[in-house]
Chains A and B, each alone.
Chain A
Amino acid sequence: MDGVSYQRFPRIKIREVKHDYMKFELRDTDSSIANALRRIMIAEVPTIAIDLVEIEVNSSVLNDEFISHRLGLIPLTSERAMSMRFSRDCDACDGDGQCEYCSVEFYLRVKCLSDQTLDVTSKDLLSSDHTVVPVDYSDGLDNATNKGIIIVKLRRGQELRLRAIARKGIGKDHAKWSPAATVTFMYEPEIYINEDMMESLTLEEKQELVDSSPTKVFAIDPENKQVIVVDPEAYTYDDEVLKKAEAMGKPGLVEIHAKEDSFIFTVETTGAVKASQLVLNAIEVLKQKLDAVRLSDDTVEADDQFGELGAHMRGG
């Protein structure tokens, strides 16, 4: 019954990790896996975002809907999101903010009493759960000007009072739940320089070739005046150097191939989850999705019966 396994063993090499940024290499797999991971990081890794707003008082210049929309877009720390419930799957409650499994309650109460305009920011949001708070973008340095994301500005006498409920969701539902700022991958380029042909070029011609690339991929070695590859990853697959070589009457002078099984990922998050955690969550979500598309037992059973029936009919 069990067939041969065609499993692959991909390799990872991490280049750089910061809180909301990371760069890594993924090798020995194909573009379908790389693209699935990218798509999931953007649209299917859950986070928490404000989803329901009850406005008590709003005498600001912005209307209720406008403020609600702005509140929804504020990134909230979402380490808990993977283990939380979607409020539509939560039987314990109706997603009213009282339920610890599926929602978090926020309050915002501000009134401007001075002649100076008052900035209402994400830091004024009071959370009922200390693990789910607006993302702090201050850089750790003592920067007094960094006060969070501005929601609205109030003048003397204006007031904003509201209750907001944050829920778990995914980017496919609404972009406010996407943890990704950018997720990209590129194929690793392989660049060959035909040294024999290169020998036949004058120094000026070599310089022209180097300059034909819009990004700094090639350079001339100051010592032996040879064309060298300084940064293969700067290549944008623009074909400019190849066209230049052709125009110089030297096709094949430079050859560039994309390695089909090697990818360089760049992941940037909104700060809702750490970049490294985003990748791990994406793998986990993809595993869950694969598990969900396994054939159910009754499908297999139905086919067994139907298959027999079919065999009867074929056999006469």
Chain B
Amino acid sequence: MNAPDRYERFVVPEGVKKVSYERDTKIMNAATFTVEREDHTIGNIVRMQLHRDDTVLFAGYKLPHPLQYKILLRIQTTSQSSPMQAYNQAINDLDKELDHLKNQFEGELAKYTRDY
């Protein structure tokens, strides 16, 4: 009867921002990103991509509670970069990686269907 609608798991409610950003007040170049209605799928790939970045000193994510449909992503960088820059870079790199993956897959699929 009082069960929340199922779509609440993946539809961002009105008036809520998909991504919000909060700087750490005590540590330089550290910030927490709150990403609404996302889970391990996004959290883990962004974290792993950030780990490849040399300017990133720390990157971690958590899903605070299974019924709170958001993730917290925490980034600390060196003074050469900023959390925001590192975050944008990670997303751009992942996007390009997926473009490449898509082309690879389509190419291989065409090759496969031609050969067999």
Contacts and interface: CB of A to CB of B under 8 A. Distances in A.
A174 B94 CA distance: 28
Nearest to A5: B93
B47 interface: yes
Contacts of B89: 2-3, 5-6
Given A6-B52, A7-B97, A173-B7, A44 B42 contact: no
A14 B46 CA distance: 27
B97 A9 contact: yes
Given A30-B48, A283-B98, A293 B35 contact: yes
A85 B15 CA distance: 22
Contacts of A170: 10
Contact of A8 (B10, B19, B54, B97): B97
Contacts of A289: 38, 41-42
Contacts of A292: 18
Contact of A6 (B81, B84, B93, B108): B93
Interface string B91-116: 11111111111101110110111001
Interface centre among A292, A293, A302, A303 (most CB of B within 10 A): A293
A12 B105 contact: yes
A295 B89 CA distance: 11
Interface string A142-158: 00000000000000000
Q: DSSP class of B's interface residues: helix, strand, loop or mixed? A: helix
Interface string A23-51: 01000011011011001100010000000
A81 B40 CA distance: 24
Given A3-B89, A287-B95, A303 B21 contact: yes
A263 to B, nearest CB: 12
B68 interface: no
Contacts of B54: 4
B78 to A, nearest CB: 11
Given A36-B45, A290-B42, A10 B104 contact: yes
Contacts of A39: 40-41
B17 A296 contact: yes
Given A6-B93, A7-B97, A299-B20, 19 more contacts: A3-B89, A7-B93, A12-B108, A14-B109, A17-B112, A32-B44, A32-B47, A33-B48, A35-B41, A173-B10, A280-B102, A280-B106, A286-B41, A287-B98, A289-B42, A290-B91, A291-B95, A295-B19, A299-B17
Q: What 5 A-B pairs have minimum CB-CB distances, sorted nearest first?
A: A32-B48, A6-B52, A7-B93, A32-B44, A14-B112
